Amino acid sequence: MKASFFIAAFCLVALSIFVGWIKYQRSNGDISISVKNTDDYYTYTASFAEDVTGRVQDYINYSIAPNGLFKSTHDYFNVTTTLADKTNFYVKESPGELKIELDKRKNSTASYLRIKKMCDGISNVLKGK
């Protein structure tokens, strides 16, 4: 009985330390950016400090103007959207997390280049450039 109590207490302490460490890493400015570019899809994924979310959202809204997606830094998005120029792409976003996916088969080369340029700009925002 005592052994199972100590094991459970140890597990709770270890889990708390792990969650705290993850939160600290994200708030400490660590970023992770992944780009996958195949013949059919362009996928951009980023993890970053939650306090940068507003700047990322502002840049995305600027890049897709006259359209806009984000109204608040606390927005959570999991949506496929079509812009005025018929660019169709998927966005999944929450504070500190972003995924953008474009199906090249359903979009023009100009649309692909627009989204790629936007994602390159997001990387610059995250890196503080």
One domain, residues 67 and 39: yes
Domain extent at residue 116: 31-127
One domain, residues 23 and 35: no
* Per-residue pLDDT, 1: 63
* Per-residue pLDDT, 120: 96
Report which DSSP code applies to 50. Answer: G
Strand pairing report for 32-37 and 41-47: antiparallel
- pLDDT tens digits for range 51-91: 898 899 889 988 888 777 766 666 788 888 888 899 999 99
Residue 26 Cα to chain centre, angstroms: 13
SS3 21: helix
One domain, residues 39 and 65: yes
User: Does residue 126 carry a pLDDT above 80?
Assistant: yes
* Dihedral-angle region of residue 95 (phi above 0 means left; psi in -120 to 50 means alpha; beta otherwise): beta
Q: What are phi and psi of 121, to 5 degrees?
A: -65, -40
Higher pLDDT, residue 18 or 62: 62
- pLDDT tens digits for range 81-99: 888 899 999 999 988 999 9
One domain, residues 36 and 24: no
One domain, residues 61 and 107: yes
One domain, residues 23 and 48: no
Domain count, the chain: 2
The CATH number assigned to the domain holding 95 equals 3.30.1360
